[in-house]
Structure 1
Amino acid sequence: MTAVEFNYALQNSTKTLKPFAMRLTKDYDDANDLLQDTLVKAFLNKDKYTDGTNLKAWLYTIMKNTFITNYQRMMRKNTFIDTTDNLHYINSSSSMVDNNALSNFAMEDINHAVEKLDESYRNPFLMYFNGFKYHEIAQKLNIPIGTVKNRIHIARKELKDALKIYSFSRGLN
């Protein structure tokens, strides 16, 4: 088979190789890349093709092997092996699993700080926190709306001071 005939046969095989590439990669762009890699490898190794054998089967084999090689390379690249003596990277905080312990401690601190508020500030604050409007709180507690706003403001300020340890990690400035 001449070089021109081989190139023509490669060109005609792309229509049947494309669906196979899509089945392997399940992504349009990756399938195009795989098809291109396959055709480049076939062209570069045309001297290894035996004339008279099934060209499509040869191309399918190249494509399948290219896909497997690329997949294995990607998996190796994403695998991290810690070779330090003290397993520094494995024990670093970047590999920690979040188990909500910090959230639980924070909620305990918040609840404790709210409980420590004077009752005259705690009640309007909790009502506002639970969705009541200022005028509803004023009506239920039988106090002026300005007093409600003032007590909620003071409660927020006291909570902010009591929970300032969380200001850097949570953005409570």
Structure 2
Amino acid sequence: MCSTEFNTLLMGNADFLRPYAITLTKDSESAKDLYQETLFRALANREKYLAGTNIRAWLYTIMRNIFINNYRRGNRQYRLLDNAMGDFLLHQQQPSIGNYAENGLRVKDVHMAIYNLPVIFKQPFLLYFEGYKYYEIAMILNEPLGTVKSRIHFARKMLKSRIARY
């Protein structure tokens, strides 16, 4: 299929994309951007279109994939809404100020909970916490690998129940 035939076919079926873009984005400006991006991608990838197949389905798929990718990209970015004039979106890049005394108390509670674990669970858990691999802990303690894994698992469960308030 030559490029003029493809362009004619594309423009003849492009109007059906506008309502779908509005349905996805729920915003007219975002829908326009999505519509334009879809047409651009369709033109850029026209060699991937197989003549005789349903072009509307192909265009809907392109639009849906662009929308999903943009949505995922937006979730990865942390945004802060500024209530100033115009409601600008600011990217939050500065760390928040924490309460170091409260954090110190939490660390003490965690250490106390680890210290109060039964010895059979505390020893493998501390080795795991220090960065040893399961098989290394099994060799150090001269225990089977499955036993080490289960003891670390039970130690985690105990710690979660004791430190559940955080």
Structure with larger Rg:
1
* TM-score, with structure 1 as normaliser: 0.46
* TM-score, with structure 2 as normaliser: 0.48
Write 1 or 2 for the structure with the bigger share of helix: 1
